[in-house]
Every structure is written in C-alpha cells, then in structure tokens.
Amino acid sequence: MDESNDLDEGDVTCIASRAELFAARNKAHSIHPYLVVVAGPSAGRLIRVDARMTLGRAPDAEVRLDEDGVSRRHAAISSQPDGTVEIRDLGSTNGTLVNDEPIDRRVLRDGDRVIIGHTAILKFSYCDAVEEAVQRNLYESATRDGLTGAHNRRWFDEAAAAELAFARRHNRPLSLIMVDIDHFKLVNDRYGHPGGDAVLRALGELMTRTVRHEDAVARYGGEEFAILLRDIGLAEAVQCAERVRRAIAEARVEHAGQVIPVTASFGVAAVQGGDGPTPAALVQAADRCLYLAKERGRNRVESGS
C-alpha cells in the first residue's frame, strides 16, 4: 500500500486523540464545503454547508449571525448538483460581499471571503476530515474550559452580549442563572485540589446534561458557573435552577474512593426585551440573588428581575 501521503502525527497537534486522528485519516479523501467564521463573536466556528442554508438573524436561520447589520434572512448558501457551492443575497439591507465585492449571486471558490453585515466575516473552504478535526479542536480549545468542558468566560461574555441584543430586538425573554458551589474551600481543604477539580468537572458535565440543548453553561470563574436561557422568563428559569439544584444535591461525586457531598446556591435574573440592562448589569442582578441564597442558608434558589 502506498503510504506516501500519510500525515506526520507530529504535525497534527490539535487533534484530541490518536483514535480521532486515525478516523480522520480514513476519511481524508472525503472533501466537504465549509464556512469558517473568521471575525465576530463566533470567530473560529466551523459550519458545514449542506443542501440549502439560510444565513441571518432569524431564529430559524440554519446559520444564525446575530450581529450588527445582518438582516433576518440575509443570504442563502447551497450545494449545487454539479458539486459547486453558490451564495445568494436575499434582498438584505446591507448586502452580501464576496472578496469585498457586492453580489446578488456567486459561485464560491476555495478561500473566498464572505462578508455578512458589518462585522461577520466568513471564509469559504473545502476541507477534508483531518482539517475539519483540527479546526473544530481549535475552536473548542478557544471557547471551552479545559477542566469542566463548559464554555469559558470569554465565550460567555460574547454570548451574553449577543443574546441580550437578540432579546431586545425581538422583544423576547432572556434569563441568567448564576451558580456557586457551597463551601468549596472546605472541599479543597478536605479532599485536596484534585478532589476540588473532580467536583468542578462533575458539576460542569451534570449542568450541561440537565439544561436544554439550546441553553449554555459557562464556567464564570473559580467555582462559579453561569447558565444562559434564551426565550425563558423568570418563572421558568427558577424551575430550571431548582431542577439543576436537586440534581447537584443528589449527585455522587467520587474521588479517590470517596464520595464528596456537594450542594450549590443559585441566583436567577431575567429581562424581557425592550431597553434591558447591559450584560454586566444582568450578571450583577443574578449575583445579588446568589448572595441572598448564600445568606439564607445555601443549597437554594433565589430570584429577581
């Protein structure tokens, strides 16, 4: 068998595991079209182009770009029967540009730069499985907390601003839950930092499993997490927080042959479209409720708007 085209594993440092690398190698000749977000809040995101996809701010857009200057249904991108990929402007307010040229319709070439609105810049590219795995791993590394697997603080700050802007424009509710592990210093003192890490890792995974797929869990800092809930008002957000609180209290976090008892306190705040607060103000409102939960005995949910 001709192995002249084999990859040098030393050159591919971003792929998470040897198994992933080998799986990618086996599909290396399968080329697919992708859009890579190179500027804007979602920079690094990789989007595989399938059939016909709408780009825009609309909630049902397959590629949602909730950024300045993007129309609700801004453009459409689609794979053609001859294997090419075409992008078409859908009568957007600010137009669609390919390589800085306004277009109505254009067949894309590998490396073309697509500008949607004022700040969203995407690169069109044909990628094989290895390139896709590397790009996805880079994006995950940039937006995920390495210990817990939850989104990181940088991602949260950008997502909170985008979600709040979306809620204002569409007069939709947005809720934020701030979560703090109770007596976490005592956990570290009794079980050591590896035990504390085991708690953080377990709770990050548990919260991600417990909330809806469209909700977002982020590690805000230290033992504090944040959960963004789109299209969820205060009453439903409190129910969600209570569900997560119970799951944490009932969880068995095991480390070094010991079960570590864990509880957490929750603060919930919400906005309803219109001229709502800044992201920082929303966090502060949820944090005030969190501190109240701590003062009232911990392992509880407190809320306010």
Active site members: 223
Q: What are phi and psi of 167, to 5 degrees?
A: -65, -40
Q: Residue 45: which of 146, 157, 159 has the closest Cα?
A: 159
Q: Residue 146: which of 49, 286, 46, 16 has the closest Cα?
A: 16
DSSP 42: T
Element (DSSP H or E) covering residue 258: strand 258-260
Give CA separation, 90 vs 40, 93, 104, 108, 285, in Å: 21, 9, 8, 16, 40
Tell how strand 63-64 and strand 52-56 pair up.
parallel
Q: CA–CA separation, 48 vs 158, rounded Å?
A: 23
Give CA separation, 97 vs 85, 125, 158, in Å: 15, 16, 24
Q: CA–CA separation, 301 vs 239, rounded Å?
A: 9
